[in-house]
Amino acid sequence: MKKSRHEYKFQINEKDMVLLQARLGGVVKKDPHVNKNGCYHIRSVYFDDAADTCYYQNEAGTDPRAKYRIRIYNASDGKIRLEKKVKQNGMTRKYAAPLTREQADLLIAGKGLSMAKEDFDTYPELLQNFMVLWQTRYMRPKVIVSYDRVPYVDSRGNVRVTFDRNIAASLDFAHFFDKNLRKEPILPVGVHLMEVKFDEFLPAYIKERLDIGHLRQTTFSKYYLGRKRKKA
């Protein structure tokens, strides 16, 4: 069984984001995969079925629930992953499988992959399960979500504290891998997202640095807000 993690989310303003990053920087290192600007760009295509089950489960707060997405970094096809994210009892689990560029292009275009046994048997288990849903529940791409992430990591507690800005949504599936993807902001100007993720415990020295007196935990689904934005 995949280990579940705590995941807390907070909407923050620009001033608080600068303050929190300065406070964290003294005790926690940034993820080594960041670029020279101290961040990386994340882009995901989210999928849903013909009944928009994932969308409405997010809206209702259904527990448990799951989402499927294809994720890339820095608009590059060097690392493409199919991911399934499960939320249950306030905890999250994530499963991932690699995709080739050809597989990703077919799925994002809504064409699907071969279901012939000799092909299907070569797929990772997660991709096999996804293709069954593709056939039985008509899973298809629904929205692209992109953002710039500043990530801090600590091995004690397996902690990740991330700051996401420029969160935007797009339906420009044909240009998913293009650096200049057409997109629209999801949040008002100056509003960002902080996520705090950890396994069994959040070290006291990190918790203290994150306590600035007025942050309030919130529910936040980039997929749901991206879909809602594009439905409007």
Q: Quick one: pLDDT at residue 27?
A: 92
Report the candidate in 38, 17, 9 with the shortest Cα–Cα distance to residue 222. 9
* Chain segment 96-145, per-residue pLDDT in tens: 999 999 999 999 999 999 999 999 999 999 999 999 999 999 999 999 99
Ramachandran category for residue 186: left, alpha or beta (phi over 0 → left; psi -120 to 50 → alpha): alpha
Class of domain 5-231: alpha beta
Q: Quick one: pLDDT at residue 1?
A: 60
Q: Quick one: pLDDT at residue 150?
A: 97
Burial of 86 (0-12, 13-18, 19+ CB in 10 A): middle
**pLDDT higher than threshold 80 for residue 232:** no
Reported confidence tier of residue 229, pLDDT bands at 50, 70, 90 = confident
Report the candidate in 182, 185, 155 with the shortest Cα–Cα distance to residue 171. 182
**pLDDT higher than threshold 80 for residue 89:** yes
Mean pLDDT of 215-226: 93
Q: List CB contacts of 226: < 8 A, sequence separation 6 or more.
A: 46, 143, 144, 145, 169, 186
As a whole number of angstroms, the distance between CA 129 and CA 139 comes to 11
Where b means 16+ CB within 10 Å and e means fewer, 184-204 reads eebbeeeebbbbbbbeeebee
Sequence spans of domains, the chain: 5-231
Secondary structure element (H or E) that encloses residue 13, with its range: strand 5-13
* Chain segment 1-49, per-residue pLDDT in tens: 678 999 999 999 999 999 999 999 989 999 998 999 999 999 999 999 9
Q: Quick one: pLDDT at residue 2?
A: 73
Q: Quick one: pLDDT at residue 104?
A: 98
**pLDDT higher than threshold 90 for residue 71:** yes
**pLDDT higher than threshold 90 for residue 228:** no
pLDDT, mean over the chain: 95
* H helix intervals, the chain: 14-25, 53-60, 101-108, 117-120, 125-136, 204-210, 222-231
Reported confidence tier of residue 231, pLDDT bands at 50, 70, 90 = low
Q: What pTM, to 2 d.p., does this model score?
A: 0.95
Report the candidate in 64, 12, 42 with the shortest Cα–Cα distance to residue 151. 42
* Chain segment 139-180, per-residue pLDDT in tens: 999 999 999 999 999 998 899 999 999 999 999 999 999 999
Mean pLDDT of 55-64: 92
* Six-digit token string for 33: 């995969």
Please give the single-letter amino acid code of residue 83.
E
